[in-house]
Amino acid sequence: MDKFIIEGGKPLRGEVTISGAKNAALPILCSSILAQERCTYANIPKLRDISTITDVLATLGVHTESWQNNTLVLDPSGIHAFDAPYELVKSMRASILVLGPLLARFGKAKVSLPGGCSIGVRPIDMHLKALAKMGADIAISHGYVIASAQGLTGARIVFDTPTVGGTENIMMAATLARGKTVIEGAAREPEIFDLACVLNKMGACIQGAGESTITIDGVDSLNGVEYSIIPDRIETGTFLVAAAITKGTLTLKNTRADQISAIIDKLQDMGVEIRVENNNEIFVNGNHDLKAVQVETVPYPGFPTDMQAQIMALACVAEGVSSITETIFENRFMHVPELMRMGADLEERGPTVIVRGVRRFQGASVMATDLRASASLILAALNASGHTEIRRIYHLDRGYEALDQKLKRIGADVVRERGTL
Ligand code: EPU
């Protein structure tokens, strides 16, 4: 397992090109199952999660023709199997997103239940209930979801709380269902809008994606597609914090400022100077005193749970007392004890962490526990006096493309040591 060694205290300066969005790419690659022909996707980040989903797709018979320069070409014309095995699904929960497309196109699917996750229980009951309402027979047997349908039928689906993956699975399933599906209480994340754009380009008939009611009129078949996915809003937010926490100045390119308004607002409240140029370029100047902040994670367009750990790292070195409340996942504070080992003054009170600002982090040996927790430890290390060793960096490689290379190019002192425990 690789680890990072970071010598802190270097202000980051220069330009960063933001990669494509992992959480848009994953459902979009699964949507290739619905197509009759080759699909070409641009701006796909080189990540472990993307390799995992192409492995899942390969077991079904979706052939990866090429993956070069962030363009991935998939050929779904040879699909011959309908099972997503435990060995793959356990390493990435998003594999469950093959369920809706397989059922819609082939009327059968056997997908391992994802099981627990370090950040929460994360059940898929809402996905399964909605598919059952569309006419699927669903059984759970020996750890697998076994689903079949003689053609799905459009239905009115009401989600009590918005679910990103549930909305994506049902939206994909409904594209080939008989009649109209209406999803109420849908998640509104930009990744859902991006999935709807690609599906519509394939010939689907989806209206309202990005709003809380989505209407899908089923069609008979979907074509191949060429599509470039949106930039990663969480990577963008992470680099904004990186500039602020090192008192640096960065220009972020190939991004979408309109998709991170809640993040920009909170960072500006903290005293970070941020200027948006033409929506796709953001300038950030962290050379200002930081103030405490109150943050509550909520579904889009509110402040994202995937930025909670990173803004907590920043609040740790802001003047005053901040509070950070997590409302989406029940166990997403695994970075708290690690940040405390680096000198942070944190107190967990149920779903809220009280953060009393300290002047600076101190380098220490710490352990990454999940993707966004890893990012917060790297941010803390960039600020810290002395050097920090961050172990279990494989979590980071799941979701940030070449983060160590990108950080080095803007002046960070980061070394990746390969193969250490
Ligand atoms: N939930 C249920 N039942 C369901 C589905 C969800 O109870 O059937 C609960 C979950 O346990 C959670 C809440 O509803 O408490 C929201 O879960 P959601 O379904 O929206 O999340 P997801 O689709 O599993 C995606 C992202 C996550 C991100 C969340 C929330 C992908 C591949 N994953 O997960 O990304 O945190 O939405 O925005 O899109 C990450 O990138 O680090 C990450 C964890």
List 64's β-bridge partners, or say none.
74
Cα–chain-centroid distance for residue 301? Answer: 15
Residue 94 beta carbon below 6 angstroms from any ligand 1 atom: yes
User: How much is the pLDDT for 114?
Assistant: 84
322-352 burial, b for 16+ CB within 10 Å, e for fewer? bbbbbbbbeebbbbbebbbbbbbebeeeebb
99 Cβ closer than 6 Å to some ligand 1 atom: no
Q: Tokens in use for 9?
A: 């205290």
| Most ligand 1 atoms within 8 A of CB, residue of 26, 163, 234 to mutate | 163
Q: Is the CB of 305 under 6 A from ligand 1?
A: yes
What per-residue confidence (pLDDT) applies to 415?
96
**pLDDT at residue 421, rounded to an integer:** 53
According to DSSP, the residues that pair with 250 across neighbouring strands are: 14, 284
Give the pair of three-digit tokens for residue 304.
């994202």
Residue 18: closest CA among 273, 235, 195, 315:
235
Q: How far is 50 from 54, CA to CA, in rounded Å?
A: 6
Instruction: Give the pLDDT score at 116.
Output: 64
Rounded to whole angstroms, the Cα distance separating 339 from 177 reads 48
| Ligand 1 contacts CB of residue 123 (under 6 A) | yes
pLDDT given for residue 118 in this prediction:
79
Pocket test for ligand 1, best of 19, 23, 26, 192 (most atoms within 8 A of CB): 23
Q: Average pLDDT by consecutive 10-residue portion of the chain (421 residues)?
A: 95 98 98 97 96 96 96 97 92 94 97 80 92 97 94 97 97 98 98 98 98 98 98 98 98 97 98 95 96 98 98 98 96 95 97 98 95 97 97 91 97 90 53
| Angle CA 184–186–189, to nearest 5 | 160
Residue 397 CB partners (closer than 8 Å, separation 6+): 2, 47, 48
pTM over the 0.75 mark? yes
Whole-number pLDDT of residue 420:
57
Task: Assess whether the C-beta atom of 313 lies below 6 angstroms from ligand 1.
Answer: no
In a 13 Å sphere around the CA of 313, the CA atoms on its Cβ side amount to 34
For residues 284 and 131, give the distance between their C-alpha atoms in angstroms, rounded to a whole number.
Answer: 44
CB 343 within 8 A of CB 358: yes
How far apart are the C-alpha atoms of 40 and 52, rounded to whole Å? 18
pLDDT at 1: 83
Model pLDDT, residue 331: 87
Please indicate whether residue 117 is annotated as part of the active site. Answer: yes
Is-cis flag, bond preceding 123, omega within 30? no
